[in-house]
């Protein structure tokens, strides 16, 4: 889900090129319309925006949201050039395709802005609008503008080169779908984006060179992408050295997260994530269904494979009736599964689970019943009750469970430092089935793996004490704003609604930059 939305920030005296949207990139330079993996489609690549440190500071100071971002990131030390790249990559079946992204480079004369610079390879979270483009600074309604601005302030303006793909299936990509949570494809694309960016660096208007430091990070879906990329780079015949990575709030134990959902622990946003997952794995493996009507209720089956990413935003997607906002499953329990419809834990999260059931539901009872039967016959080892770390459902028969297992990230051990950051009350990507599982799995690695729960109390000498304090203040402010009109229930709802998409990400991002800084 897109996060940390900025207000309408004035671009002030920023230098803007006349490029943007899906067609960014003019006719200048050499063109390659059928690129191999990692090859640029245009050389030199177009610069979309160029701001000095003073101009960027003024841009952020133009409203209260930008000022809040400055409090997290600190004032820009460097100027920032925003460059648009298009490159060759592959889809879920290794079919040739194209994708696009952004390369941000620091500019200016300060020591942190000159000479060979470290690279941050960044993976964004789930977005549903196809026009998402992290390089498009000419259109402030672009759904990527807020996240792109945060990347510029957090990293590029502090001396890092930022490389961030929009992903295959978005922006100008020729792929007709998005390989959502496909660990193999997403890691290949990140490697391709990095290769294309390195080709572009010496040709930029502000030519830049990279040093040997490579950091990988991403949030939510991007956390899964970041971890899959670290794993893939480490496993190459000639490994790509990763200095450190910081996967943030990602569904790493994907099979466990999927099982939890079907067992009734419906996460916030489940009606959007589920069809993106089903379409992705159907395109990759071809065995989830012969027709979408086998999976979805008739009100939603028609056209659902091409719905996301598309032209709808998170509001119009529901108001148009294309998807139900909350009801992933029917409130009528499949035979013998009443205990899971919805499950009862006697904790406040029961209200979230209950919201995932209704009359106008998305997924058919027959599909859910078959999935749960498989999950009970071949349990994961983490869900529903056993708090282990194992990926034990290797005998699973359900095509969806098999697909989730193929994209689960519990099958590797990092050889370079990793920060796992999330919040323990996340209603979207469950902390206990993902971050906590990986932390336990890697407990024997000692200081190589650091786990940060931003929603926990600081202890003596805690290096993340300020991050935790800032998160606590933001959480309290969110609660108070909701409680001012809705009482205690309104406050709790406000926190739940903002937790994954707004509250956690900026603080985990601050922690990630601090974590990376010790390896410079």
Task: Convert the pLDDT of each residue in 286-328 to its tens digit.
Answer: 999 999 999 999 999 999 999 999 999 999 999 999 999 999 9
Tokens of 152: 């510029």
Cα 455 to Cα 441: distance, rounded to the nearest angstrom:
21
How many Cα atoms within 13 Å fall on the side-chain side of residue 448?
13
Instruction: Give the pLDDT of residue 192.
Output: 98
Within the chain, all domains assigned CATH 3.40.50.1820 are found at 15-208
Instruction: Give the pLDDT of residue 396.
Output: 86
Q: CATH topology for 15-208?
A: Rossmann fold (3.40.50)
Asked if residue 50 lies in contact with residue 82, where contact means CB atoms within 8 angstroms, the answer is yes
Question: Per-residue pLDDT tens for 164-212?
Answer: 999 999 999 999 999 999 999 999 999 999 999 999 999 999 999 999 9
Over residues 377-401, mean pLDDT: 71
Asked whether residue 283 carries a pLDDT value surpassing 90, the answer given is yes
Percent of the chain, pLDDT > 90? 87
Over residues 217-241, mean pLDDT: 98
Instruction: Give the pLDDT of residue 299.
Output: 97
Q: Which of 24-38, 257-271, 359-373 has the lowest mean pLDDT?
A: 24-38
Banded model confidence at residue 435, pLDDT cuts 50, 70, 90: very high
Over residues 253-275, mean pLDDT: 95
Cα 520 to Cα 213: distance, rounded to the nearest angstrom:
7
Instruction: Give the pLDDT of residue 348.
Output: 84
Measured in degrees and rounded to the nearest 5, phi and psi for residue 59 equal: -60, -45
Cα 435 to Cα 472: distance, rounded to the nearest angstrom:
20
Over residues 405-430, mean pLDDT: 97
Asked whether residue 393 carries a pLDDT value surpassing 80, the answer given is no
Over residues 465-469, mean pLDDT: 97
Nearest to 297 by CA among 370, 360, 341: 360
Instruction: Give the pLDDT of residue 23.
Output: 40
Percent of the chain that is helix, strand, coil (3-state, to 5): 40, 15, 45
Nearest to 255 by CA among 158, 50, 395, 440: 395
Asked if residue 165 lies in contact with residue 148, where contact means CB atoms within 8 angstroms, the answer is no
Query: By three-state DSSP, how is residue 287 classified?
Result: coil
Measured in degrees and rounded to the nearest 5, phi and psi for residue 315 equal: -85, -55
What average pLDDT does the structure give for the chain?
92
Question: Per-residue pLDDT tens for 346-374?
Answer: 888 899 999 999 999 999 999 999 999 99
Banded model confidence at residue 395, pLDDT cuts 50, 70, 90: confident
Cα 481 to Cα 491: distance, rounded to the nearest angstrom:
7
Mapping DSSP onto H, E and C, the string for 160-218 reads CEEEEECCCCCCCCCCCCCCCCCHHHHHHHHHHHHHHHHHHHHHCCCCCCEEEEEEEEE
Measured in degrees and rounded to the nearest 5, phi and psi for residue 222 equal: -65, -25
Asked whether residue 99 carries a pLDDT value surpassing 90, the answer given is yes
Nearest to 271 by CA among 1, 459, 8, 477: 1
Q: What is the pTM of this model?
A: 0.95
Q: What contacts 222, CB < 8 A, 6 or more positions away?
A: 122, 123, 124, 125, 248, 250
């Amino acid at each position: 889900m897109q996060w940390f939305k900025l207000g309408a920030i004035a671009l002030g005296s920023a230098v803007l090129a006349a490029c943007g949207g899906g067609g960014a990139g003019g006719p200048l330079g050499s063109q390659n319309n059928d690129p191999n993996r990692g090859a640029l489609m245009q050389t030199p690549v177009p610069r979309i925006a160029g701001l000095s440190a003073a101009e960027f500071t003024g841009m952020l100071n133009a409203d209260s949201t930008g000022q809040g971002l400055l409090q997290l990131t600190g004032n820009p030390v460097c100027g920032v050039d925003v460059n648009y790249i298009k490159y060759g990559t592959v889809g879920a079946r290794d079919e040739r395709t194209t994708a696009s992204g952004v390369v941000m480079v620091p500019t200016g004369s300060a020591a942190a802005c000159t000479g060979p610079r470290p690279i941050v390879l960044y993976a964004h979270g789930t977005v549903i609008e196809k026009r998402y483009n992290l390089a498009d600074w000419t259109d402030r309604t672009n759904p990527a503008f807020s996240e792109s601005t945060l990347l510029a302030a957090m990293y590029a303006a502090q001396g890092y080169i930022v490389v961030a793909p929009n992903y295959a299936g978005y922006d100008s990509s020729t792929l007709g779908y998005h390989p959502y949570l496909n660990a193999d494809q997403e890691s290949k694309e990140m490697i391709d984006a990095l290769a294309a960016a390195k080709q572009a660096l010496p040709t930029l208007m502000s030519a830049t060179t990279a040093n040997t430091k490579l950091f990988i990070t991403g949030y939510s879906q991007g956390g899964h992408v970041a971890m899959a990329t670290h794993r893939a780079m480490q496993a190459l015949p000639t490994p790509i050295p990763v200095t450190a990575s910081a996967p943030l709030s990602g569904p790493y134990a994907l099979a466990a997260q999927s099982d939890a959902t079907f067992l009734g622990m419906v996460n916030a946003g489940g009606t959007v994530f589920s069809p993106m997952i089903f379409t992705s794995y159907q395109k990759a493996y071809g065995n989830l269904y012969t027709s979408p009507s086998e999976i979805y209720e008739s009100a939603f089956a028609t056209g659902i494979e091409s719905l996301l990413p598309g032209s709808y935003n998170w509001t119009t997607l529901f108001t148009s009736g294309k998807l139900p906002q909350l009801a992933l499953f029917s409130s009528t329990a499949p035979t013998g599964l009443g205990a899971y419809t919805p499950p009862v834990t006697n904790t406040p999260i029961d209200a979230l689970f209950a919201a995932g059931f209704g009359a106008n539901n998305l997924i058919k009872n027959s599909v859910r019943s078959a999935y749960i039967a498989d999950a009970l016959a071949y349990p994961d080892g983490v869900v529903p009750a056993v708090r282990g770390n194992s990926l034990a459902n290797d005998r699973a028969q359900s095509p969806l469970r098999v697909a989730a297992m193929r994209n689960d990230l519990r099958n590797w051990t990092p050889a370079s430092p990793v920060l796992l950051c999330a919040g323990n009350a996340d209603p979207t990507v469950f902390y206990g089935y993902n971050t906590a599982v990986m932390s336990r799995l890697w407990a024997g690695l000692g200081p190589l793996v650091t786990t940060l729960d931003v929603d926990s109390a600081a202890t003596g000498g805690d290096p993340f004490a300020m991050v935790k304090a800032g998160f606590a203040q933001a959480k309290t402010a969110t609660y108070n704003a909701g409680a001012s009109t809705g009482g205690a229930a309104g406050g709790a709802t406000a926190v739940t609604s903002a937790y994954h998409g707004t509250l956690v990400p900026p603080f985990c991002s601050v922690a990630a930059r601090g974590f990376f800084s010790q390896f410079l």
